[in-house]
Amino acid sequence: MSIDIEAACVLITGGGSGIGLGLARRFLEGGARVTITGRDRARLERVAADHPGLDFVASDIADPCAREALAEQVRESMPALNVLINNAGIQRRIGLAEDDAPWAQRQAEIDTLLSGPIHLNHLLLPLLLSERRAATIVNLSSGGAYVPQPFAPVYSASKAALHSYTMNLRFALRHTACSVVELIPPAVRTSLAGDGAVHGVDLEVYCDAVFAALVAGDADEIGYGPTASAAFEAAKAGYRAMFDTMAGRFPVKRYE
């Protein structure tokens, strides 16, 4: 389902930098109303100052109470919300055998990457489905959701779970006007892996390509470079075929 940019009312979590900010900027330039979220209020204030018309809410997607407060604020100030982009991310680069950090660090990663999007989608779906208007939920997974990264095992596991959830959410919403899109970025040069990252594709090139594909609305899963290769697509096709078989065998209640 294509997105009418001028009519779009967009919420992007983790929109203060990286892919989130890149997408926010492009929606804003197209005439959409855009609100970004993030934990760092000072950063959000600087970003908003550099982008007139961009709104922000300081909110930690890893905190369930903060998610509920964010949803309440969105319902009050953005009743026309029709694009939700779950982009917020953190990545701890440490192998399992050497990871002796407190559990809270792993939990924060899981909550940011998995619990947060699931909960926020649940909280905002009634608004997105209201009046049966066209809407889009975008979940950012990763190439690591399909091919686990030993240097970022909790990140990979969380993204794999998000991919699975996204397939199920799309299936549950198939009879509604709300589409569900999974962005599957390869390594992109952002601050996800720390400041000064030089590995991966150029951020602006990636955002240009993905934004165009997202607005066109022709694909439920949008890869780029390695995650759009013929081999990658062939592997996904087999997985989807098995999902379709299982989904038809065990019917579940759907959204209306």
Of 116, 106, 166, 171, which Cα lies nearest the Cα of 142? 166
Which token pair is 114?
């998995």
pLDDT the model gives residue 100: 92
pLDDT the model gives residue 192: 72
Q: Which domains does the chain have, with CATH numbers?
A: 5-249 (3.40.50.720)
Q: Which residues are catalytic?
A: 155
Rounded (5°) CA angle 7-12-18: 120
pLDDT the model gives residue 197: 55
Amino acid at 50: D
pLDDT the model gives residue 30: 98
pLDDT the model gives residue 156: 97
Is the CB of residue 57 less than 8 Å from the CB of residue 33? no
3-state SS of the chain is CCCCHHHCEEEECCCCCHHHHHHHHHHHHCCCEEEEEECCHHHHHHHHHHCCCCEEEECCCCCHHHHHHHHHHHHHHCCCCCEEEECCCCCCCCCHHHCCCCHHHHHHHHHHHHHHHHHHHHHHHHHHHHHHCCEEEEEECCHHHCCCCCCCHHHHHHHHHHHHHHHHHHHHCCCCCEEEEEEECCCECCCCCCCCCCCCECHHHHHHHHHHHHHHCCCCEEECHHHHCHHHHHHHHHHHHHHHHHHHHCCCCCCC
pLDDT the model gives residue 191: 75
Calculate the CA dihedral of residues 130, 76, 140, 195 and round it to 10 degrees.
Answer: 170
Amino acid at 132: R
Which token pair is 21?
């900010």
In whole angstroms, how large is the CA radius of gyration of the chain? 18
* pLDDT averages per 10-residue partition of the chain, 256 residues: 96 98 98 98 98 98 98 98 98 92 96 99 98 94 94 96 98 96 94 64 96 97 96 91 90 84
d(CA 119, CA 209): 29
d(CA 173, CA 116): 19
pLDDT the model gives residue 254: 85
Give every strand in the sheet of 33-38, ordered side by side: 55-58, 33-38, 9-12, 83-86, 135-140, 178-184, 221-223
pLDDT the model gives residue 131: 82
Which token pair is 102?
């407190």
